[in-house]
Amino acid sequence: MERTRLKLAVIFLLAALNVVLLGYVLLQAQQSKDYEDLTRQQIMTYLTDHGIAVSETRIPWDEDWRAVVLEEESNNMGGDPLPEGGLPENCEVETARSAVTTNTTAQAWRNLGLYGNNYGDSVKLIIAYEAPESVKEELKTDGDPLEQKAIGRDALVFIVNEDNPVQSLTLQQLKDIYAGAITNWKDVGGKDQEIVAFQRGEDSGSQTLFKKLLIQGGELMDPPTELAPAAMGELVDSIAEYNNSANAIGFSVYYYIDQMYSKPGLRLLAVDGVTPSNETIADQSYPLCNEFYAAILQDSATDSPERRIYEWLSTDAGRSCIERSGYVAVQ
């Protein structure tokens, strides 16, 4: 009798445990579904906020999302024209992101113009500042195979330590500083301190703009190696921290300082009395504005992804995307 009761008790306990486990499994499943629904909602909201029109039914929710390089023969984007409201519905966002790389301005132009036809997964489209003159000569020698157009406007800006009392310089004063004719801040309204003028490497986009917009073929002193850092971030850091003093000056492009690498301890100089901003760049009242470009190979097919994106950048939706990114779009 006792043995029978013991068996019944064990059976009852196992049944109760099964009920508890079943409840736990159902709760986990519901929580997983709620989390999945929330994730989908967040993804769709993110895409919508960034101007990407994607039908929820076209997203492969059940697949393992991986970054895939966009090959030349890939037809992920199909043949439909780009809609005014954003990218095509069947544009794979992660695939597109995985195909984006960054490089120096000079190397970006070389990768497209000199090597763009060599490999199936090579560069098909670039967005870059103007190519250095040396690269332009290389492209001309290669038959100038590129099609390019201005899509936005940026500006060359000069940065100083926030402790520097100088608020504005004229174009001629900047030229004289970088020619070595003005060597002390007291000569431009500052303290009695030597001017330490930073530059960039020859292959950098900002150095190209600097020589085109300011130097214009005039005299330019050669900076010591330590005053010509390879990376833009290094230059910005150096000006903010150079000997803990306010005697350094350097240059960058406005977007980089405003959107990408704002650094405490720095201040933008006005040039000819005009402070750089999106507004003064848009109306070009700031004197050192310059356009940046999208470029593809001239023989890019009409229905190729790069050609369609290239054309889309000049639509209202494309210009809106450029402006939402913090740039000034060319109208």
Range of weakest confidence among 17-21, 177-181, 205-209? 17-21
The residue behind tokens 């850092």 is: 229
Whether 310 has a pLDDT exceeding 80, the answer reads: yes
**Residue 239 burial (10 A CB sphere; 0-12, 13-18, 19+):** buried
Global confidence as pTM? 0.63
Distance of CA 282 to the CA centre of its chain: 19
Whether 156 has a pLDDT exceeding 80, the answer reads: yes
**Residue 170 burial (10 A CB sphere; 0-12, 13-18, 19+):** middle
* pLDDT mean over 131-153: 88
Q: Where are the domains of the chain?
A: 2-49, 152-289
For the chain, the average pLDDT equals 75
Alpha helices in the chain (DSSP H): 2-49, 93-98, 105-113, 133-141, 171-179, 205-209, 232-241, 254-255, 278-282, 305-312, 316-324
Alpha carbons 287 and 280: distance in angstroms, whole number: 9
Give the residue with greater pLDDT, 239 vs 220.
220
Whether 86 has a pLDDT exceeding 90, the answer reads: no
Which segment, 6-15, 121-130, 295-304, is predicted with the most confidence on average?
295-304
CATH code that applies to domain 152-289: 3.40.190.10
- Residue 199 has what pLDDT? 84
Whether 58 has a pLDDT exceeding 90, the answer reads: no
Rounded to 10°, the helix 133-141/105-113 angle is 10
Which segment, 26-30, 294-298, 322-326, is predicted with the most confidence on average?
294-298
Write the pLDDT tens digit of every residue in 180-210: 999 999 999 999 999 988 888 776 778 888 8
3-state secondary structure of 206: helix
Choose among 7, 312, 299, 294: nearest CA to 129: 294
Share of the chain above pLDDT 70, in %: 60
* pLDDT mean over 10-14: 60
